[in-house]
Every structure is written in C-alpha cells, then in structure tokens.
Structure 1
Amino acid sequence: MKSTDPAQYRSAFHIQPADVMTQLPTQFFATLVQKVNREISAGHDVINLGQGNPDTPTPPHVVQALQEAAANPVYHKYSPFTGYGFLKEAIARRYFEDYGVSLDPETEVAILFGGKTGLVQLPQILLNPGDLCLVPDPGYPDYWSGVALAKAEMSFMPLRKDHAFLPDYAGITESVRRRAKLMFLNYPNNPTSATAPLSFYEDTVKFAAENGIVVASDFAYGAIGFDGRRPVSFLQAPGAKEVGIEFYTLSKTYNMAGWRVGFALGNREVVSMINQLQDHIYVSLFGGIQAAAAEALTASQECVRELVQRYESRRDAFFAGLAEIGWEAEKPSGSFFSWLPVPQGHTSASFADLLLERAKVAVAPGIGFGGHGEGYVRVGLLTSEDRLREAARRIGGLGLFA
C-alpha cells in the first residue's frame, strides 16, 4: 500500500487564526523573562526583582487541608457549577471581618479560576465591539487582554504622582464619559504601589452612577498595607455594590498563586453573568482546593499578619539601601512592589537593561504597564532582605545617583 508523505500537506494547508488572536496585546514581560534567563544560563547571579510571583510557600495548615480534602471521595466528583457554598460563605465572612462589608454568599459572590480569569472575562460579559473601557495607565496589562477579546476599545486614565497615582475623573472628557461602559481600578496598585482612601471610592461611586459605568475594582493586594494601615476595599463605599464589583484573590494574601482561587464580589447582576459565562467554560474548581481555600479564609489570620510584616521589613531594608546610594523614592504604602524613578538620561527600558547587564539586577520597565509608566521601574520585594540590600549595593556601584 502506498504511503502518503505528510510533507505534501504542509505547504498546502494553512491554519488561519481568528482576527481577535492578532489583536491581542504583546506580552511585554515575556521578553524580560527571556533576558533574565539568558543571564542566568550564562552563569551570572541575577537578583530578579522584575516579577510578581510570591517567593514564600503557602501556609502549612492550608497545605494540610488540601492533603486531607484530596483523600475525600466527595471531592473526586464534579463540583457544583458555581462552587461549594462553604467557600462562598468563607469569603463573605472574611470580608465582613476585615472590611465590615456584608455579602450574600449565594448572589454576591462568584468563584473564579484565579482573579486574572475574572478580569479578562468581565469585558467579554459587559462590552460589545466598539464599546469603551476606562483603563488605568500605568496598569495591569491583562486588563487590555480582556478588552481586546471583547473587540472593544480603551481610553486610558493617567496615574500621575501629582495626583497620588489616582485617576482624575474631572479630566475625563464628556464624549468619553458617554461612551464608557466599564472602568478598571486597582488599589493597592500594581505597578505604582499606591493605595486609595475611602473618599476616592466615594467619588468613584458618584462618577460611575452619574455616567452609567460599571466599576471593576481589582483588589488583588487588598491584604498588603503598611505602617499599620489596612487597604480600603471599594465595597466599603456606600452604593458600591449598585455600580460595581470587586475582584479578590488568594494568590497574594496566602501565597496561593499556583492554586488559582479568586472571587468576584458585589453587584448581583454582574455576579450572575459571570456564573452564566463560566457555566459554559468550567465545572468549577476541584473541591479539595475549595476546601483548602475555605480553611485559609476562616482559620487564624496570623499567617497573613506575618506575611505583611515580612514585606514591610523588606521594604524598609531595601529603602535604607536606596538612601545609602542616593536613589530618592517614596516608600510604598501597599502591595509588594516599589515604583522607582529612573535617573536622567535613561528611559525605563534602557535603565532596566543597564541594571541587568551591569549589576545583574532585574527590574520591570514602567513602559510595559502603559505610556504613563515611562520614567519608572517596578521593583518586587520578593526576595530576602539580604538580597534586596545586595541589589541596592550593586546598583549603587554603577555610580548613577552620585
């Protein structure tokens, strides 16, 4: 029997992607990872402060809860499509204890496959092609991804130092207000590390209600506030649940980034639509992970307090090192990032390249977070105090701030 040569099909058969695949934003930080890996492969000791991946393990009691739940045959079957009630009750309890916010577990909480999933899904739920979304600049690039998948458009809200890295609603034109249907906010902020006061969220509710804009508050770093101040939740503002939703994740609070457990909280209509979309994509999280997540939320929160203290100590150690080399910057008030101005004569990208090549310190260029990120680099406090001090010493050795 004559065999067919597969090669004859290679030149004739071409897979054509959907248009939306060509419109997705470029993953800027994939290039940074490649550069860092090249330096490491060449045998260099790189202090990588450019990424946002928690560097300490999940608390032991949460891991133990998963181990025990994994052996429970109840969880070997499909989970309920919208998740187990005990997990939604756990997040509602945590929000009430931490922020004084009351949530109905069944109608105001949706379980997500990580916070990122919800952030990308929301524009597809609320926006039609050509609709407008207000996006912070600088901001988390995956906001752009969701808007692109919805074939919608973006209008950027500049976050500037002279406005405490908060959007200026007075500066948004009337034509943009009329077109906008969705707005993303993120405090404590990635990348600027700024936090938002309750008064800002009160202004946000008023702005959203007057203009018919749904607010999406990305509260991924909600547990990480310094100097004795707990970050404020958008849902603490009166009327917040009427105009918006908040995204929360266990990734940063409990070092559970790889577990992929997140929540959408607030407006009942939006929660219902998220559940509706997810019914077509998922059959909820593995029940054992849900049980462990509930344990994280309801057990002692001492592990969270210890984590925040660890980041604060790292912040103080790093900024003491920066002061010694003459690099002036404001200490972050939340998140595990620092937002540092680049020296004169450099762009954020050229400065990041210089630090990697000559100091073997990796940082994230601000331009990767949007045009208004230019002039800054983002530094993660995701290594030991000794390594952070060493990073400052290496950078100081370049004589850029003398």
Structure 2
Amino acid sequence: MNSATGSAKSWRSERLSKLGSSIFVEVTDWKRAAIASGMDIIDLGIGSPDQPPTENVRQALSDAALRTDMYAYPAIKGGLPYKEQAAAWMLHRFGVTVDPASEVVTLLGSQDGLANLAMATCNPGDVVLLPNPGYPIYMASLVLAGVQAELMPLRPENNYLPDLEAISEEVWQKAKFILLNYPNNPLSAVADLSFFEKLLDKAKKYGVLVVHDIAYSEMGYDGYKPPSILQVAGASKQAVEFHSMSKSFNMAGCRIGFMVGNREAVSALRELKANVDYGVFEPVQEASIVALREAINEPDKHNVGELYERRRDAFITALHKEGWYVESPKATMFVWAKLPDMTWSKGSDWSSRTISQEMLKATGVVVIPGEAFGSEGEGYVRIALVEEENRLLEAAERIGRFIRGEHVIE
C-alpha cells in the first residue's frame, strides 16, 4: 500500500498490454499442460532451427571464448571485422556493395534492430506503414516508440503483396517508414525486384524510408533465390535491410544479425544502441565471421534451403494424403495453412485459436494461430518445419486423424 494515499500502485506499465499478441503466451501454456499430462509433443510452433551451426563455426566460438582478451565490452573494439565480413557476404550473395563502417550496424539478432528502429528514426505521433499479417515485433516496436501504425492488408488475391495504390496520399505524406518482409513470416510469400522497384519509386516520391526484413534470405525453393531490395539501383539512399544469422546459419541462440543500407538510418540506430547496450559478445562475432566466410567459399555447408525444401515436400505431400490441402510455400521454414474443412464438426465455430488449441489437446502437435500475426491472419495457422522428416510425417498423420474426427493419441 502507498502510505501517502492509501492506494496500491501498479508496477506494470500500460504499454505492456499493447505490445503484441498474447496468443504466444497462451500456446506456451497449452503446451506446458500437454507435456504435464504425459503427451508426446511435436512442436511446430516457434520457428527456431533444430540444426546446429557447422563444426567450424562451433569451433571458432569455442576457441574465441577461451581467449582471455574476449571479455571486454564488445563496443570498445568496434566490431569492424564482422561488419566487413557482412559486407563481403552482401557482395557475394546479392552483388550489393556497402561500406561496412557507415552502412552496416551489428545487432543482437535482427529482432533487436526491429525493436529499436522506430525509436531511433521516429518521433512520438509519427506514422509507420506495417503489414497485416505481420511479425509481432513490428507492432510492438511502434508501441514502445509511441508511433502510430497504418496497417496494409496482405491477401492471397494479391499474392500477399500490399496494394501500394490503395494507400491514400494522405497516409503516404504522413508515413515515416514502410516495413515489409519477403520472404514473409508468417505467409511464406515472396516478392521480386519489380515489386521492390515500384515500392521504392512510391517511397521516394513521398520521402518514406523503406525497411525490409529478409531474415529468410537463404530459404528459397524450386530454384528461387530471394533478392535483396538493395539490388535495385539507388536503393541504399531510400532503404535499409535486416539480415539475421539465426535462420540461414542455425545461430538463433547466438543473437546476432545486422542492418545495412541508408547511412542516416544506420547511424541513428547505432547511436541509439550505443546508449542501451555494448554490442554482441566478441566470440559470437568471431563465429559469425567464420559462418559468413564459409557461405562464400564453401556454400554447400550452409545450404539450409535444401534441407527445408525436402521437409516441405515431405510434409505437404503427407498433409495432402491426410485430406488437408494446403498451399506449398515458395520460401521460409513455414507453412501458412488455411483451416481445414472438418466435416464432422459442422456447426462448430472454429477460429484459428480454437482449432490450434484443440489440435494440440488431441494430437500433441503445436501450431501457431494465424490471428497471432494480425486480423488478416484469422482463418489460418502457421506451421514451422523445425523437426526431422519422420516427425513431420508423424505430425501429419496425427493431424489427419484430428481433422477426420478420430482423435486418437498413441
């Protein structure tokens, strides 16, 4: 109790309730209850890679961690070697030339940069264009910065690309930046350079920064190689791009990535981060340098796309055999699946939340309700291909029994 007023004070800010979907917390609770009941869980929820980095990457991390000169604040060393290697990888992978000193900023994972970019580049009350559905940190970052979101619906009839012409001139005039993500999480949609050219032309007309999240750049299928928006001529004057070591290099737990592009935005994010953290642990940077170097010189060691393509093919084929006809993704580690037609449950009001919960209870298979990513995600679930093929096939079989109403758990 507050002795001066006699009333209790809350030590929980109101903004926490606005940060994002509570469904992720709910799914964790559902999973915990299922585990407690003794159920065998196949977790296709969170998109965390189930494979380790290469042996050389792990060895570099181990060797660096044993060195006595690796335990100062990373910012004191400046981290230029990692940024230089990131720049070399950008040139190798996309043919894009960037200055590592002024056009690259090292991040504690790309989510670190996504969470802080609005605070670094916007003022309270500014407007930012966001995709719907979209990765939850996009909206949460605006809440933290006191920035207003204008949502762009991403729908199948438009190949999950925003209708740039449907955005009013008034909104374009107000917008500080527009944020997009291709290959897309959760939709697994893709974009080509012609779309990026149209986007950059529109953004340039209104002085809007383009922010592109390309965490799944190395997970394209059927010969598709996701492009960087910075491949468009002059894009670095108008755009920044987020890259992650998490998915492409199986280094999710290491928490490292980088943002590259427009110098002013890079400088702003670097300045903000200089006030809130001291950078990425030096051994993690050393290991990441090895990973990026291997990707250039020994690309077969980091071909995660082949692994997830095989998993995609096996899982989609199995789901089709079970009677759930979902679209095969062109990229990412996710399947964006329209809710199945369950004839046995006619009259039931199935939402993405309820079907995800009931599926977990009945089968032990964890998926994420589409509404976790925004209102346009209702009617879908996201399934992560983060188990070995035999477990994915087992998950498909369990799901098949569920959608047929058999509800059998072994």
TM over 0.5: yes
TM normalised by structure 1 equals 0.93
**Which of 325, 328, 333 lines up with 2:322 in the alignment?**
325
- Cα shift at 1:13: 6.8
1:313 aligns with 310
> 2:128: which partner in 1?
133
In the alignment, residue 181 of structure 1 is paired with which amino acid? Answer: K
Q: State the Cα distance separating 1:227 from its structure 2 match.
A: 1.0
Shift of 1:369: 0.3
Q: Is the 8 A contact 2:131 2:153 kept in 1?
A: yes
Matched letter for residue 304 of structure 1: H
Q: Distance in 1 between matches of 2:181 and 2:106?
A: 19
1:252 equivalent in structure 2: 247
Q: Which residue of 2 aligns with 1:303?
A: 301
Of residues 174-183 and 271-280 in structure 1, the stretch that sits farther from structure 2 once superposed is 174-183
**TM norm structure 2:** 0.92
2:372 pairs with 1:368? yes
Contact 2:21/2:373 (8 A) holds in 1 = no
Would you say 1:198 and 2:198 are equivalent positions?
no
Deviations 1:49-83 (A, max 9, x none): 11111111122111100111122233222323583
Q: Give the distance between the partners of 1:39 and 1:106, measured in 2 at CA.
A: 49
- Secondary structure in 2 matching 1:397: helix
Which residue number corresponds to residue 345 of structure 2?
none
Aligned to 1:210: 205
Aligned to 2:335: 338
Judge conservation of contact 2:23–2:369 (CA < 8 Å) in 1.
no
Specify every segment of 5 or more residues in structure 2 that has no aligned partner in the other structure, as ranges.
Answer: 342-348
Superposed CA deviations along residues 142-195 of structure 1, whole A, max 9, x for unmatched, are: 011110011111111111111111111011122211211111111110000111
User: How big is the shift at 1:16?
Assistant: 4.4
- CA change 1:240–1:82 in 2 (3 A) is farther
Equivalent of 1:177 in 164, 172, 176: 172
Choose from 245, 265, 268 the match for 1:270: 265
Q: Is the 8 A contact 1:82 1:284 kept in 2?
A: no
**Which residues in structure 2 correspond to 1:379-394 (within 5 Å)?**
379-394=383-398
Contact 2:65–2:283 (8 Å) recurs in 1: yes
**Using a 3 Å threshold, how does the CA distance of structure 1 residues 105 and 163 change in structure 2: closer, same or farther?**
same
Alignment of 1:9-158 (within 5 A): 14=9, 16-18=11-13, 20-81=15-76, 83-158=78-153
Q: Which runs of 4+ in 1 moved over 6 A?
A: 6-9
Distance 1:401 1:313, change over 3 A: farther
Task: Give the Å deviation of 1:328.
Answer: 1.4
| 1:288 corresponds to | 283
Distance 1:7 1:161 in 2: 54
Paired amino acid for 2:300: E
Residue 359 of structure 2 is matched in structure 1 by 355
Q: Distance in 2 between the 1:191 and 1:20 partners?
A: 24
* Bigger mean CA offset, 313-322 vs 341-350: 341-350
Give distance in 2, aligned partners of 1:343 and 1:205: 38
Question: Which SS does the other structure have where 1:77 is aligned?
Answer: coil
SS in 2 for 1:94: helix
Secondary structure in 1 aligned to 2:289? helix
Identical pairs, percent: 38
Shift of 1:398: 2.6
Distance 2:232 2:398 in 1: 44
Q: Are 1:232 and 2:227 an aligned pair?
A: yes
Q: Distance in 1 between matches of 2:316 and 2:11?
A: 51
Question: How far, CA to CA, are the matches of 1:401 and 1:231 in structure 2?
Answer: 39
For 1:3, the equivalent position in structure 2 comes to none
* Cα distance change on mapping 1:15 and 1:42 into 2, 3 Å: same
Verify the 8 A CA contact 1:325 1:401 in the aligned structure 2: no
Task: Give 1:328's aligned amino acid.
Answer: Y
Work out the CA distance in 1 between the residues paired with 2:89 and 2:405: 45
Report the secondary structure of 1:377's partner residue: strand
Residue pair 2:21, 2:136 contacting (<8 A) in 1 also: no
State the shift of 1:232 in Å. Answer: 1.0
Compared CA separation, residues 309 and 129, structure 1 to 2 (3 A):
same
Q: C-alpha displacement at 1:15, in angstroms?
A: 5.2
Distance 1:144 1:81, change over 3 A: farther
Q: Answer whether contact 2:185 2:334 (CA < 8 A) is retained.
A: yes
RMSD of the TM alignment (CA)? Answer: 2.1
> What is the alpha-carbon distance in structure 2 between the residues aligned to residue 39 and residue 127 of structure 1?
43
